[in-house]
Chain A
Amino acid sequence: MRIASIAAAFLFAASGAAFAQAPNDAQIAHIVVTANQVDIDAGKLAEQKAKSAEVKAFGKQMVTDHSGVNKQAVALAKKLGVKPEDNPTSESLKKGGEENVKHLKTLKGAEFDKAYVDHEVAYHEQVLDAIDKVLVPSAKNEELKGLIVKVRPAFVAHLEHAKSLQAKLGK
């Protein structure tokens, strides 16, 4: 359900259902910042609640990495004079993130770890899909596009890391 809502958020953007046309740079900036914030919020919770030390460390890294990206994204938007603009995709992302955190708060121990990591796998897959199909092709400003292209490999590393945790937890 929660995973489906993230997918739906990006699919809307990809299919153009939520946008009469491709998102503009102000909307892309808002999507980038929101996508990072959603993962920061989940990571903070994992830092507090995860049972496994590895899951806790992963959560902490998500907070650090995504906070770093957001700091850069906000600074770039300011430099370019782009005011991040709320839009249906970022709204859906935010809602999906809030639902995920709400659900995770009801879980404990190994159950929490599994749910958090499963969501991280799905989340990073969806974000990468959105980067490739929507954000990079739509971004007009070269610096904004460059920032997204530059952070993409880190998201791939996060996905691989989350998948390796998922395989360990599944044992």
Chain B
Amino acid sequence: MTVAIDGTAYVPPTLTVARGTAVTWENRDPFPHTVTDAGTFDSGSIPAGGHFRYVANKPGTYDYICTLHPNMKGRLVVQ
């Protein structure tokens, strides 16, 4: 499953996946972003054209942001 990072936004903003699914965030913007849920996952700086992969093993709802552009908000729901 893929979430695009495009236009300083996560597309789709909410993604629901089954437990064990690998989720990849692809940064299509010309500058870095992060995918950060304090305490669960933190991509660190993803460069332009780069990606971050996370295997969602634990069910729950995770609200994440970009620490560089905190107006970017996303949600990962693991069932």
Contact = CB atoms under 8 A, between A and B. Distances in A.
Interface of A: 61, 64-65, 67-69, 71-72, 149-151, 153-154, 156-158, 160-161
29 contacts: A61-B68, A64-B32, A65-B31, A65-B32, A67-B31, A68-B30, A68-B32, A69-B31, A150-B6, A150-B7, A150-B29, A151-B7, A151-B8, A153-B7, A153-B69, A153-B71, A153-B72, A154-B29, A154-B31, A156-B8, A156-B71, A157-B8, A157-B66, A157-B70, A157-B71, A158-B69, A160-B71, A161-B69, A161-B70
A158 B9 CA distance: 14
Given A68-B31, A72-B30, A153-B9, 18 more contacts: A64-B31, A65-B68, A67-B31, A68-B29, A68-B32, A149-B7, A150-B6, A150-B7, A150-B8, A150-B29, A151-B8, A154-B8, A154-B29, A157-B8, A157-B70, A157-B71, A157-B72, A160-B71
Contacts of A160: 70-71
B27 to A, nearest CB: 10
B48 interface: yes
Contacts of A150: 6-8, 29
A76 to B, nearest CB: 10
